[in-house]
Structure 1
């Protein structure tokens, strides 16, 4: 099913922000969400108090997102008290039931194997089943499966994703201003809607963002949207 008249707009999240100037640069570039990492082992970690301080710079309709990895319900609820409007993002081994404990809207990360991992396994990652298991999530975030948690700046093979996933997806893992257009063009037709999430691809160093790279990334996303609009891409899986 193709839609001729509905404009396409890919939502954009910049993750791992730690400084006021980076929050301001992301907002000025027109992003939709800002991510704060609650995982202590990450070099981009900030406390809930610091995240709340940075989030106070956000204008209406720019969403703060709190990223957790195997955190306790007590810790999650305590962090949410500092940012009552935040969306939650789970990147660890959380079950569907665990994700619901805080009673907040959430995004669930799926760790997609890299090419060498796929070739060594008898079965590929079942994204369709994963999306069904986590159907309470607002979206499934696609990240590369590397040692530890997070994509590590690695890009998985987008062409290996299922042709149709009945879910809102967020493409992540190794995105940069140079490759995000191609990623959107490949993944957007496979899902209900697509957003993108970038961290290291717009950084000068870990946790330190570049305003120029953020602007280049946003421009590349909009270029993909324009191309999809010209191609009249479908807006929901068949």
Structure 2
């Protein structure tokens, strides 16, 4: 064990959730965003979150949720952590945190060094920061697109404690990502899939092994 925390995101079935838990994932993520192939309805999120209770940190991923959606999903899934993966402002992140009474992780899209300038504004209101590859302008999804950003952009940048690396990671690339960035937490979704939204238990196990085996 090397202390690197692993999040498997976009889980939607009991079998793949069990695969993530058995592999030793520290966090498991459930996406409620209708445009995503990983979307789960509130009742499905609730069932999966209940199955994972006490076995891993349960993360509910939302994209620019309004208060009504936030309230409904928090009541249904009772998540340990809310991940905001849209265009939420620092003020909205703070409001979601206060309203939900849950810790919040804010995802920030990175493509160029200037994108890191927003870190400071969110660091004071979000409990964790996730750095992901910025989606292309025409992308339907804000994340989970299988793209990596240039990890060299992080060199010389003061990153907040507990930050998480995402974007284009898979069993073959995560070792290099950890070595280059020094990340102590990683998030994967499309990199452990056999098709859009279809998680592969063998790839999940291989990803966790690649992290733990460093």
| Partner deviation per Cα, 1:151-187 (whole Å, 9 max, x = no partner) | 4101111012142424121111110000001101111
Cα distance in 2, alignment partners of residues 68 and 36 from structure 1: 9
Cα 1:85–1:67 change in 2 (3 A) is closer
2:72 aligned residue: 78
Gaps of 5+ in 2: none
Conserved? CA contact 1:65–1:87, under 8 Å: yes
Pair 1:169-2:167 in alignment: no
The corresponding residue for 1:29 is 23
* Secondary structure of the structure 1 residue equivalent to 2:18: helix
1:221 aligns with 2:211: yes
Query: What is the alpha-carbon root mean square deviation over aligned residues?
Result: 1.6
Q: Matched residue of 2:148: which SS?
A: coil
Superposed displacement of residue 61, structure 1: 4.5
Q: How many residues align?
A: 204
Gaps (5+ residues) in structure 1?
1-6, 119-123, 225-238
CA distance in 1, matches of 2:134, 2:110: 5
When residues 77 and 59 of structure 1 are mapped into structure 2, their CA distance, relative to the original with a 3 A threshold, is closer
Counterpart of 2:52 in 1: which secondary structure?
A: coil
- Specify the structure having the higher radius of gyration (Cα): 1
Report the TM-score, using the length of structure 1 for normalisation. 0.81
Q: Aligned residue for 2:197?
A: 207
Cα contact 1:73–1:101 (8 A) shared by 2: no
Per the alignment, in what secondary structure is the counterpart of residue 33 of structure 2? coil
Q: TM-score normalized by structure 2?
A: 0.89
The match for 1:154 is 147
2:118 is the alignment partner of 1:130: yes
1:100, 1:76 → 2: CA distance? 13
